[in-house]
C-alpha cells in the first residue's frame, strides 16, 4: 500500500496537491485537495487490463473552467434548491442563482472549488487522506461556521470509502455527495447506455420542468425507473416516459433506497462491476444527459452526451422545501456523519 503526493499547480498562491492511493492489487485512485476531486480510478477488467474508469481533466485550469463537477465533493447542499432561498428559524437565506432562478450544487461558492487541507492517514492495512475545511458562516449563503472532514480510504480488497463528517455552530442544512462520473468500460469514448444497473428502490422523485422535485414520490413498478432487477441504462435514454424525456432523454432522478442501501453497476465487455453501499437515504442517478461542449477530457476524448454516469448518494434534493422528505437540517453542535463505500470487482454479469 502506498500514498504518493505530488504538486498539481496553484490557485491564488495556494499550492494544490494531487494524492494517489495504490494497493497491492495495483488499483489506484487519484484525487486533488481542490474540491477533494477524484481525477482517476484505475482498476482491472476481466483480462487483467488496468484502465481509468472515471471522467476527469489532466490540468487544474480545466477543473476551474468547466462546471460539470467532475469527481468533486458537492455541498454544503447537493442538488437544486428552489428559488435559491430557504427559511430556517424565521430567517430567509438567499443563495446564488446559478441555474435560472434556482441554486444548483450550492451555487458559486461550493465545496467543489475550495482548497481542502489533506492529511495522509494509515489505518491498519488501509491508506487514505483526511481532508478538512472550515466553511465560514454565510459562505454560499448558508448559516453557521461549518467544520467539515472528508476522508478517502482504500483497502486491499479494492474497496474505496468516503466518510463525511461535519458540525456547525448554528442550525443549518447539510447534504454532501461526491459527483464522480463513471464509465466502467475503460474506453472513455463510449456511451454508458450499455451499463446495467440494479438497486433496491421502490420509489423515485418526480421532477418538474426545472428539474426540481414536485414533492411526489412515484412507484418504479412498470416504468424504466424499475432497477429492482438488472436493467440497461439505455432503456431510459430511449424511453418515451415523460420523466425520461424531461431529463434530456435519460435519468437525472433521485431514487429513495429501500432498507438494503446497495447499488450495483455492471459493464459487460470489460466485466467490471461497481457495488456501492451507503448510509444515505437516496441516490441521484444522472446519465450525463447534459454533458456537451467543445473540450477534451483526460485521455484526449471530446466530451459528449452519456459519456459518464453519476450515482450521487445523498438525502433528497430540495428537502428544505418538502417536509415529508428526510430532513437535512442539523442542530447547532449536532454531528453530521455519512459514509459511502465503493467496491470495484469483476463478474460474469446479469446473464
Ligand atoms: C447532476 C444533475 C444536474 C446537473 C449536474 C451537473 O447532479 O442532477 O442536472 O447537470 O449534475
Ligand 1 nearest atom to the CA of residue 69, by list position: 6
pLDDT tens figures, 92-119? 999 999 999 999 999 999 999 999 999 9
pTM across the whole model: 0.97
pLDDT tens figures, 163-186? 999 999 999 999 999 999 999 999
Q: How many CA atoms lie within 13 A of 143 on its CB side?
A: 18
Examine the pLDDT at 196 and tell me if it is beyond 90. yes
211 lines ligand 1 (CB under 6 A): yes
Q: Is the peptide bond before 185 cis (omega within 30 degrees of 0)?
A: no
Average pLDDT of the chain is: 96
Is position 312 annotated as part of the catalytic site?
Answer: yes
Chain centroid to CA 164: how far? Answer: 13
User: Residues 262, 264, 265, CA angle at the centre, nearest 5°?
Assistant: 150
pLDDT tens figures, 202-242? 999 999 999 999 999 999 999 999 999 999 999 999 999 99
Residue 100: CB atoms within 10 Å: 8
CA distance 96 to 85: 8
Question: What is the mean pLDDT of the segment spanning 7-17?
Answer: 96
Instruction: For residue 194, report the phi and psi dihedrals to the nearest 5 degrees.
Output: -85, 0
CA distance 153 to 38: 12
267 lines ligand 1 (CB under 6 A): no
Active-site residue identified among 51, 109, 112, 179: 179
Q: Can you read off the three cell numbers belonging to residue 66?
A: 468547466
The pLDDT of residue 56 is 97
Quote the ligand 1 centre to 286 CA distance (angstroms): 7
The pLDDT of residue 66 is 87
CA distance 345 to 240: 33
pLDDT tens figures, 326-336? 999 999 999 99
The pLDDT of residue 140 is 97
Quote the ligand 1 centre to 148 CA distance (angstroms): 23
Examine the pLDDT at 350 and tell me if it is beyond 60. yes
CA distance 49 to 59: 25
Quote the ligand 1 centre to 312 CA distance (angstroms): 10
pLDDT tens figures, 151-167? 999 999 999 999 999 99
Give nearest CA residue, ligand 1 atom 6.
68
Active-site residue identified among 159, 280, 312, 322: 312
pLDDT tens figures, 50-107? 999 999 999 999 999 988 999 999 999 999 999 999 999 999 999 999 999 999 999 9
Query: Measuring CA to CA, which residue among 133, 137, 173, 127 is closest to residue 35?
Result: 133
Q: Can you read off the three cell numbers belonging to residue 85?
A: 432561498
Quote the ligand 1 centre to 26 CA distance (angstroms): 32
The pLDDT of residue 272 is 98
The pLDDT of residue 351 is 53
Ligand 1 nearest atom to the CA of residue 80, by list position: 8
Amino acid at each position: 500500500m502506498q500514498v504518493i503526493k505530488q504538486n498539481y499547480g496553484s490557485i491564488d498562491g495556494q499550492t494544490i496537491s494531487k494524492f494517489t492511493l495504490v494497493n497491492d492489487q495495483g488499483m489506484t485512485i487519484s484525487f486533488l485537495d481542490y474540491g477533494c476531486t477524484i481525477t482517476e480510478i484505475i482498476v482491472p477488467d476481466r483480462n487483467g487490463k488496468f484502465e481509468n474508469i472515471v471522467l476527469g481533466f489532466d490540468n487544474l485550469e480545466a477543473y476551474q473552467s468547466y462546471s460539470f463537477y467532475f469527481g468533486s465533493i458537492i455541498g454544503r447542499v447537493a442538488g437544486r434548491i428552489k428559488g435559491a432561498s430557504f427559511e430556517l428559524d424565521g430567517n430567509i437565506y438567499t443563495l446564488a442563482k446559478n441555474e435560472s432562478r434556482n441554486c444548483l450544487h450550492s451555487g458559486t461558492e461550493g465545496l467543489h472549488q475550495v482548497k481542502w487541507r489533506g492529511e495522509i492517514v494509515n489505518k491498519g492495512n488501509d491508506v487514505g487522506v483526511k481532508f478538512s475545511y472550515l466553511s465560514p458562516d454565510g459562505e454560499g449563503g448558508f448559516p453557521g461556521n461549518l467544520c467539515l472532514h472528508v476522508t478517502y480510504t482504500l483497502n486491499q480488497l479494492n474497496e474505496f470509502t468516503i466518510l463525511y463528517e461535519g458540525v456547525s455552530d448554528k442550525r443549518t442544512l447539510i447534504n454532501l455527495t461526491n459527483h464522480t462520473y463513471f464509465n466502467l468500460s475503460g474506453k472513455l469514448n463510449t456511451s454508458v447506455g450499455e451499463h446495467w444497473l440494479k438497486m433496491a428502490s421502490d420509489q423515485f422523485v418526480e421532477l418538474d420542468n426545472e428539474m426540481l422535485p414536485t414533492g411526489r414520490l412515484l412507484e418504479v413498478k412498470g416504468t424504466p425507473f424499475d432497477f429492482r432487477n438488472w436493467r440497461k441504462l439505455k432503456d431510459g435514454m430511449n424511453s418515451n416516459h415523460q420523466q425520461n424525456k424531461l431529463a434530456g432523454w435519460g435519468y437525472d432522478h433521485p431514487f429513495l433506497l429501500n432498507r438494503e442501501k446497495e447499488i450495483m453497476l455492471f459493464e459487460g465487455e470489460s466485466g467490471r462491476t461497481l457495488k456501492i453501499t451507503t448510509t444515505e437515504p437516496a441516490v441521484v442517478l444522472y446519465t450525463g444527459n447534459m454533458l456537451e461542449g467543445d473540450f477534451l477530457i483526460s485521455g484526449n476524448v471530446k466530451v459528449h452526451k452519456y459519456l459518464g454516469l453519476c450515482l450521487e448518494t445523498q438525502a433528497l434534493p430540495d428537502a428544505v422545501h418538502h417536509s415529508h422528505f428526510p430532513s437535512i437540517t442539523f442542530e447547532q453542535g449536532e454531528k453530521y456523519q455519512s459514509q459511502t463505500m465503493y467496491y470495484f470487482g469483476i463478474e460474469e454479469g446479469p446473464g
